[in-house]
Amino acid sequence: ILQISAPLQFLGFLYRDLRQSLLDLDFLFNILITRPSVKDGHIELQKVGPGMKIQAENLHFRYRSSRKILNGVSLTANPGESIAIVGPSGCGKSTIVKLLLRFYYPELGTLFLDNIDLQLLSQASLHGAIAIVPQDTVLFNDTIYHNITYSRPTACKTEIIQAAKQALSGGEKQRVAIARAFLKAPRLLICDEATSALDSNTEVEVLKTLKDLSSGRTCIFVAHRLSTIMHCDKILVMDNGSIIEEGTHKDLLSRGGTYANMWSSQELKEKREPLPK
Ligand code: ATP
């Protein structure tokens, strides 16, 4: 899942410069393909506020294919809480995020943000209140200044420089995404494998910045590497479209189930194959 709403708003504008830009065409086409014909709602989600309340009840979902991808997922995040979704590749983690962003309707089940049914919310206000730090950030062939600005085109120069200073110490693409998110000051922050493509040293640095960014906001982290999400208020372990365990890192370790097994096998692997310094 990537920064979606702004690219859609600016597609017309961007088309002119497309040929000489470094846009990832697959990314753009994916947006166009996956964007559904959802009906827009009329209730405005508050743009500013201390986090966002998320309640998902019994979500069932399948893409066009017949295979069920989500099989009765329920979750709650209170304003300011951070939750992590972990589990094997293909178990449906990013699909939950896509439903939350209203790119698709659930086949069954409900999603409420701030106690409002997602289907009643205006798309613009929804995307205005959410920032996403994806695994692979798309940069436009333009200055860092403009790459950051695009999350809030009305921002003034001082605000943009401030956002860049808050995020840009390592010069990584991910830091541009984080600077965009700082500038947007979202109520909900979604990090979808935001640091998984980074080497371990850069990952540690980027995680520190993400921690600053996440403070006071509701956050959803989708991650494979458990050490990056162990401090979340709640960890949801998914398998095959269902949440099979839920709790804090400590709770889940003491339960000795799937999470505890994932944790020990990742620890073992990192001991056996230390990541490059
Ligand atoms: P990963 O950790 O690899 O990112 P994930 O747990 O986030 O995986 P999802 O991206 O939610 O998994 O995908 C769940 C399943 O749905 C996968 O089998 C995937 O191939 C399938 N899927 C994802 N997007 C689509 C789509 N647009 N159309 C059809 N199937 C899709």
Taking 50 as the pLDDT cut, the residues of the chain under it are 1-2, 9, 12-23, 170-171, 277
Cβ–ligand 1 distance for 36 under 6 Å, the answer no
pLDDT of residue 60: 97
Cβ–ligand 1 distance for 92 under 6 Å, the answer yes
Residue 39, class by beta-carbon neighbours within 10 Å (0-12 exposed, 13-18 middle, 19+ buried)?
exposed
pLDDT of residue 130: 93
Cα 27 from Cα 11, distance rounded (Å): 12
For atom 30 of ligand 1, the residue with the nearest CA is 63
Helix (H) or strand (E) holding 191: strand 188-192
Q: Which two tokens stand for residue 220?
A: 């959803």
For atom 19 of ligand 1, the residue with the nearest CA is 90
Contacts of 61 (CB under 8 A, 6+ apart): 68, 69, 70, 92, 95, 99, 104, 106, 107
pLDDT of residue 14: 47
Cβ–ligand 1 distance for 66 under 6 Å, the answer no
Query: Which ligand 1 atom is the nearest neighbour of the CA of 65?
Result: 29
Cβ–ligand 1 distance for 63 under 6 Å, the answer yes
Q: Which two tokens stand for residue 124?
A: 């613009």
Taking the alpha carbons at both ends of the chain, their separation in whole angstroms is 29
pLDDT of residue 1: 45
In this structure, are residues 59 and 74 in contact, taking their beta carbons and an 8 Å threshold? yes
Q: Which three-class secondary structure state does DSSP give residue 76?
A: strand
pLDDT of residue 23: 46
pLDDT of residue 274: 57
